[in-house]
């Protein structure tokens, strides 16, 4: 099939005019109020009306031009051609995509053959930006693939050991004890994964609802540290906290903030290295760029090996891990920072990460006080 873009010859040349014909003016005024790009194309394939959004999408001086030249993509042009030949009231759809160096935008283009009324005829071509819908769909597919993958590895281990216990290791009490211990560990990991997934979905479900409790951050930190005490002692970690004596109250959700501090400090312990120091600093600030009113900042710093800058932008994505093998070995699910991000968003706060290889990492959270 020949590319219709290459054949604009069947459109007789006509000097492009500055705007739509006078009889079309009311219709043009109407379409001017539509935020989506819309074109009215005549049976001769010329553009009769282009609203401002269409000019933004396809360029200036469209009226009088060939629609085939303005659209320039085979599928949308084919849809337009079919609409021109079709019975009034019929519509055809195609995907129209636009790639710029920074982003790809996908539109659903609809070519609707109008029933001739009051001198108005032709095909109404509209463009609806569906990029975010497609993006959400892609994220959903990735998420399901990731969850399945994460569940599959412990399940494979479990079925492997069950088979061994039913077969060769049936009468070996020593091996049995060892295998059962590994199986228990894998079961715990699956349990943690499901728990983290549930808490992520719970946080996401009420992300738009601002929390209303008055919460003391210093108290939240003490609660989180108490729960992490065994890990802190086991790894010989020194934890320091400054700024807790101030008034550190803010409007928040206590349980969620405990989870945030828990996840950040747990990471600092895990990735900061045994025997190191984890520093927590709370501070009240009268203002902060991008915030109205007073904020509370909490930084959690470790002395670990740090994070390469290329990983920083993706660190809060679900299941994103710098070293997945190592994280899994430590029982990590890769959901900790994704949960943190959603909770911070719900509190209308901001999380930033600073790190340099070999110099440790600092996770800074800024939360509005109310």
Contact footprint for Mg ion (CB under 5 A): 267, 336
Which of 107, 117, 127 is CA-nearest to residue 62? 127
How far is it, in rounded angstroms, from Cα 74 to Cα 83?
14
Which of 171-179, 210-218, 246-254, 322-330 is the region at the interface with ligand ATP (rule: CB under 6 A)?
Answer: 322-330
Q: What stretches of 100-255 adopt beta strand conformation (E)?
A: 104-113, 123-129, 213-216, 238-242, 249-252
Of 115-174, binders to ligand ATP (CB under 6 A) are none
Q: Which long-range contacts (CB under 8 A, 24 or more apart) does 46-53 make?
A: 46/11, 46/14, 48/20, 48/21, 48/24, 48/122, 49/20, 49/24, 53/127
Of 288-317, binders to ligand ATP (CB under 6 A) are 302, 304, 307, 315
Which residue's CB is nearer to Mg ion, number 267 or number 299?
A: 267
How far is it, in rounded angstroms, from Cα 350 to Cα 291?
10
Helices vs strands, H then E, count in the chain:
10, 12
Which of 79-87, 138-146, 218-226, 336-344 is the region at the interface with ligand ATP (rule: CB under 6 A)?
Answer: 336-344
Which residue's CB is nearer to ligand ATP, number 315 or number 367?
A: 315
**77 is a site residue for ligand ATP (CB under 6 A):** no
Which residue's CB is nearer to ligand ATP, number 134 or number 305?
A: 305
Which residue's CB is nearer to ligand ATP, number 73 or number 333?
A: 333
Minimum distance of ligand ATP from residue 198's CB (angstroms):
13
Which of 239, 221, 314, 237 is CA-nearest to residue 270? 237
The phi and psi torsions of 198 (rounded to 5 degrees) equal: -65, -40
Q: Which does 315 bind (CB under 5 to 8 A by kind): ligand ATP, Mg ion, none?
A: ligand ATP
Tell me the residue number closest to ligand ATP, measured at CB: 336
Which residue's CB is nearer to ligand ATP, number 127 or number 363?
A: 363
Map residues 177-196 to x or -, x wherever contact with ligand ATP holds by CB under 6 A. -------------------x
How far is it, in rounded angstroms, from Cα 46 to Cα 159?
66
Which residue's CB is nearer to Mg ion, number 28 or number 351?
A: 351
**321 is a site residue for ligand ATP (CB under 6 A):** yes
Give whole-number Cα distances, 334 to 50, 160, 236, 243, in Å.
Answer: 49, 24, 24, 30
Residues in the chain, overall count:
370
Minimum distance of ligand ATP from residue 78's CB (angstroms):
46
Candidates 322, 345, 348, 354; binder of ligand ATP (CB under 6 A) is: 322
**336 is a site residue for ligand ATP (CB under 6 A):** yes
How far is it, in rounded angstroms, from Cα 178 to Cα 162?
12
Q: Which does 94 bind (CB under 5 to 8 A by kind): Mg ion, ligand ATP, none?
A: none
In terms of Cβ atoms closer than 10 Å to its own Cβ (0-12, 13-18, 19+), residue 137 is exposed
Give whole-number Cα distances, 139 to 144, 145, 170, 180, 224, in Å.
Answer: 9, 10, 44, 36, 32
**332 is a site residue for ligand ATP (CB under 6 A):** yes
For 87, how many CA atoms within 13 A lie in the half-sphere containing its CB? 0
- For residue 307, the 8-state DSSP code is -
How far is it, in rounded angstroms, from Cα 276 to Cα 193?
28
Of 222-281, binders to ligand ATP (CB under 6 A) are 263, 267-268, 271
**334 is a site residue for ligand ATP (CB under 6 A):** yes
Tell me the residue number closest to Mg ion, measured at CB: 336
**27 is a site residue for ligand ATP (CB under 6 A):** no
Name the site residues for ligand ATP (rule: CB under 6 A). Answer: 196, 263, 267-268, 271, 302, 304, 307, 315, 320-323, 327, 332-338, 361
């Amino acid at each position: 099939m020949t590319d219709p873009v290459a054949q604009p010859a069947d459109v007789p040349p006509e000097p492009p005019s500055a705007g739509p014909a006078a009889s079309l003016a009311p219709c043009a005024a109407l379409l001017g109020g539509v935020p989506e790009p819309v074109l009215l194309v005549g049976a001769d394939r010329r553009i009769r009306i282009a609203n401002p959004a269409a000019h933004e999408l396809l360029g200036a001086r469209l009226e009088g031009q060939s629609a085939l030249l303005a659209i320039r993509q085979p599928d949308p042009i084919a849809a337009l051609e079919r609409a021109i030949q079709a019975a009034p009231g019929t519509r055809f759809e195609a995907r129209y995509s636009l790639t710029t160096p920074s982003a790809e935008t996908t539109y659903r283009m609809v070519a609707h053959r109008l029933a001739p009324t009051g001198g108005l005829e032709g095909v109404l071509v509209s463009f609806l930006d569906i990029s975010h819908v497609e993006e959400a769909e892609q994220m959903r597919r990735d998420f399901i693939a990731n969850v399945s993958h994460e569940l599959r590895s412990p399940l494979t281990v479990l079925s492997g050991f069950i088979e061994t216990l039913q077969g060769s290791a049936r009468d070996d009490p020593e091996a049995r004890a060892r295998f059962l211990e590994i199986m228990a560990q894998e079961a715990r990991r699956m349990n943690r994964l499901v728990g983290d997934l549930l808490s992520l979905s719970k946080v996401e479900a009420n992300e738009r609802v601002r929390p209303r409790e008055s919460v003391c951050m210093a108290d939240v930190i003490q609660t989180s540290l108490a729960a992490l005490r065994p890990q802190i002692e086991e790894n010989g970690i020194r934890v320091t906290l400054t700024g807790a004596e101030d008034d550190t109250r803010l409007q928040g959700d206590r349980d969620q903030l405990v989870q945030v501090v828990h996840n950040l400090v747990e990471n600092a312990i895990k990735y900061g290295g045994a025997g190191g120091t984890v520093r927590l600093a709370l501070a009240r600030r009268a203002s902060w760029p991008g915030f109205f009113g007073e904020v509370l900042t909490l930084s959690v710093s470790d002395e670990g090996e740090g994070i390469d800058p290329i990983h920083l932008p993706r660190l809060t994505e679900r299941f994103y891990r710098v070293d997945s093998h190592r994280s899994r070995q430590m029982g990590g699910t890769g959901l900790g920072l994704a949960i943190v991000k959603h909770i911070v968003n719900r509190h209308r706060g901001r999380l930033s990460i600073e790190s340099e290889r070999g110099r440790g990492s600092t996770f800074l959270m800024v939360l509005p006080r109310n």
